[in-house]
Amino acid sequence: MNSQNPTVLGLKKSFGFGDRLGLAGPGHIAANEKFDFAGIFAQQSIRELDRTRRTAEEVMSAAQKSLAAVENDKPWGADADHLKTAEDVRRMANAGYTFFTIDPSDYVVNEANQMSQNELQETVSRQESAGIYDGESLESLYLEKNYEISNEFDLCFTRERLMRAGVKYGEAVNHMEKMAKHISRECAGRLYEIEVSVDETETPTTTLEHLFIALELKRRGVAVISLAPRFVGDFEKGVDFKGSLQLFEETLKEHIAIAKKMGPYKLSLHSGSDKFSIYPIFGRVCGELLHVKTAGTSYLEALRVILREDLPLFKEITCYSAGRFPVDKATYHLSVTDEDVLQLGHEKIENLEDFYLNQNKGRQILHVTFGSVLTDGKRENGQAFKEAILENLERHSNLHKEVLEAHFSKHLELLGKG
């Protein structure tokens, strides 16, 4: 195997390091080398590529350059994240990616939980008429069949719960199958892995819904290496988990039991950045069958370097981000509000690093505006923010590596403690 090219990682526990600037590789690799995780060092979603105006090839090249510098001889992965269309697949496959994350969120029917019995039945009938279940009825496939998941529990669909699962995820799984076929065609003759993600939905994925997705994937012949449910609790960008740790662990045990029974495949934790309170639980319950995906937190750590080495630039970025926040927040689930941003003023903040890079409100303001900062933002002197940021990071590469290594070592150490 050529260690300079990405490959499949199998059921080895893994960690994804998203890099929106192309300079985080040395810090990512330094942290990962301390722990027993397979690293995914090229990871970018189509949305992130568009927002940062980078190409899939540029992301791949940055990872390869960093790995070559340390003479890496270990397998590593490249994640084509949140793919929605055949063109998305083609774009990433042509760049050599090996790990393909299918995002069917456009086909998930979040309203299923509130539908009446008649509405559910009408929707299922339309699905069946459209051939979603290949000529079978939903009930004939799964109704009142007993599924022995583990020694601890069995699962069985009642008619109502089956219809709600089918309405919510039936079209989504159908889309997963179509996307898997696109991936197979584009990767003909080489190894690849598929992850499916239903984490960007309004309500948590129940164990029965997880089972339905897994059964449908198996029936359709779609093999996955990992699946990302929407776990209980709140997974806001750039901040720690919000919710009951006890409930998270209880439901996680059921999800991993399904993953072992129906795969085995890994459980994938998206929006995984900085979810420190649940890492020991996730590591202990999942063992090797886990994948964690991070992205925005590396950008925030880069801004920590900017704050320490070029405070005027950092202040300009934060002012610009505050102005962009009301627009850029649209695609995110956040606690910070427009009112919080309106109340900001540098003269009111005693410790800028603590507020913007350690506290939730500041982190979220900077996190969600990364695309605007890196594509359209400019300094008062006319220089593009992205150019100024990259110049600073290259000038202070040792500090950049140091802060990233420390930050991700904390992630990986807590996951390993489980």
138 is written with which tokens? 């939903």
CA distances from 417 to 256, 345, 414 (A): 18, 40, 5
Distance of CA 226 to the CA centre of its chain: 12
Cβ-based neighbours of 18, under 8 Å, separated by 6 or more: 43, 44, 48, 81, 293, 294, 295, 296, 298
Q: Sort strands 226-228 and 99-102 into parallel, antiparallel or unpaired.
A: unpaired
CA gap 132, 410 in Å, rounded: 45
- Catalytic residue (one of 48, 79, 81, 209): 81
In the residue annotation, 81 being an active-site residue is answered as yes
CB atoms within 10 A of CB 122: 13
CA gap 201, 230 in Å, rounded: 7
DSSP string for residues in 141-182: HHBT-EEE-SSS-EEEB-HHHHHHHHHHHHHHHHHHHHHHHH
Residue with token string 């084509």:
80
DSSP string for residues in 173-225: HHHHHHHHHHHHHHTTTS--EEEEE--SSSS---HHHHHHHHHHHHHTT---S
CA gap 138, 126 in Å, rounded: 11
Among positive and negative, which fits the CA dihedral 297, 298, 301, 302?
negative
- Catalytic residue (one of 103, 128, 195, 200): 195
Give the phi and the psi of residue 114 in degrees, each rounded to 5.
Answer: -105, -5
In the residue annotation, 103 being an active-site residue is answered as no
Q: Sort strands 146-148 and 154-156 into parallel, antiparallel or unpaired.
A: antiparallel
Torsional class of 382: left (φ above 0), alpha (ψ -120 to 50), beta (otherwise): left
CB atoms within 10 A of CB 264: 12
Distance of CA 255 to the CA centre of its chain: 18
Residues with catalytic roles? 81, 195
